[in-house]
Amino acid sequence: MFEVLVFVYENYWRGDACPQLQQLGRKLSAHGFEPEEIQQALTWLDGLNLAAQNTRADDLPSEERPLPLQSADSLRVYSVLEQDHLGAQCLGFISFLDSAGVLPAPMREIVVDRAMAAPGGPVSLDDLKIIVLMVYWSVGQEPDALVLDELCEDTLGRLPH
């Protein structure tokens, strides 16, 4: 599924430039992706679109918002299920982005939601980085250059100091 998401990210510069899911499915099929991968990715993207629309509702007047905004002083506590599915490395990376001020709380919640919707066992850090990129993509924002570098860089060759 993540190969499909990378393809979508690389070929459609913004979420609103992406074709409707049915048409996107045909294009992905024409590019040789497996039907099961395509279906998983389309289902995942549909959830992402819904979550991004709810985030845009934050721009509405307070009486029209579906949920209250989080306080800057709030603390995110992860459930046992979230801890198990995300793992320590992914939770640490989300915390790093959050503390650096580059992943606002509404976007963080979309990242966690979409990571929890990812099939399979614990989410790998590389897959989480794809999810973060897709969340930025879906809300029509581009991460700044340093964040983009952190999300796209291959860390296997990096030596800690």
Note the pLDDT of residue 19.
86
| Range scoring the smallest mean pLDDT among 13-17, 110-114, 134-138 | 13-17
Domain regions of the chain by residue span: 2-60+75-152
DSSP label of 59: G
Residue 126 has pLDDT above 60, yes or no: yes
Query: How far is C-alpha 85 from the geometric centre of its chain's CA atoms?
Result: 15
Tokens read off for 36? 């099961």
CA distance 55 to 106: 6
Q: Which of 5-19, 31-45, 145-159 has the highest mean pLDDT?
A: 31-45
pLDDT in tens, 75-119: 889 999 999 999 999 999 999 999 888 999 999 999 999 999 998
CA distance 48 to 107: 11
Q: Which residue has the tokens 């990242």?
A: 111
Q: Which residue has the tokens 């002083």?
A: 73
Count of positions (residues) in the chain: 161
In order, the DSSP letters of 97-139 are HHHTTSS-HHHHHHHHHHHHTS-SSSPPHHHHHHHHHHHHHHT
Note the pLDDT of residue 77.
92
Note the pLDDT of residue 155.
52
| Range scoring the smallest mean pLDDT among 9-18, 20-29, 35-44, 104-113 | 9-18
pLDDT in tens, 33-78: 999 999 999 999 999 988 888 765 455 455 544 445 566 667 889 9
Q: Which residue has the tokens 């897709």?
A: 134
The pTM (predicted TM-score) of the whole model is 0.81
∠ CA 23-27-33 to the nearest 5 degrees? 125
Q: At what angle do helices 105-116 and 125-138 cross, to 10 degrees?
A: 130
8-43 burial by CB neighbour count: b if 16+ within 10 A, else e? bbeeeeebeebeeeeebbebbeeeebeeeebebbbe
